[in-house]
Amino acid sequence: MPEPLEIKPLEQLPLDELVACHECDLLMRKPILQHGEKALCSRCGYELYAHRYNVVNRSLALVLTALLLFIPANFMPIMRLHLLGQTSDDTVWSGVLGLYNSEMRGVAIVVFLCSMAIPLTKLLCQLAVLLSIRLNVGRSRGLLFYRIYHHLKDWGMLEVYFMGVLVAIVKLVDLAELTVGLGLFCFISLLLVQVWLEVVMSPHQIWSALSGEDLHAGD
């Protein structure tokens, strides 16, 4: 007769075989996933992680797209305002300068950091991480850049700035002649690409690839 299979309690399993739910803290045995599968918490249904197809190459394409959109999104006119015979083109950068020149320097610095500096730093960190995996060089530095990215993740607030732009457009549309600029479409595209990037760039697969556990994350 075959010997009965011994099932170890969770506390006796190695840490790399366990996973904890981020929502309800349930500790579970880490499942082995195939391409396209997702691991869900058995208690609350939260998505623990997913094994997506071609993560590195798809994420790299999105990062490069976001970097190409970054300059026009911040320096091309978001809207053109015609009021009392005067015309002004407003960009994200001109908004920062306007706040700074209006003695609101603290607000100007916060807007600059959250709408320009930090989003750009996040994209550059993601680019460095993906290149270290794609080219299989400097993965220890890739780990450092990915940690920096996670620390900055909640500070890039493009969606908050976008809501501010929408509020300004709604309030000004009855007061002056308003024309939407190409910069607004670039800004919206940048925001959507970054959201898509957050979905595609599976943290579980990126951490595994950087640590050498998953050498086929780009497949």
Summarised one tens digit per residue, pLDDT across range 123-168 is 999 999 999 999 988 888 999 999 999 888 877 777 777 777 777 7
- Sheet strands (E) in the chain: 18-20, 27-29, 38-40, 47-50, 79-83, 86-90, 177-180
Give the tokens for residue 213: 């556990």
Contact 125, 152 (CB under 8 A): yes
Task: Return the closest-CA partner of residue 11 out of 24, 23, 28.
Answer: 28
pLDDT at 83: 66
Which tokens belong to 197? 């990037």
Residues ≥6 apart with Cβ < 8 Å to 186: 69, 72, 73, 76
Residues 6+ apart with CB under 8 A from 85: none
Segments in the chain below pLDDT 70: 1-16, 35-36, 83-85, 169, 171-176, 213-219
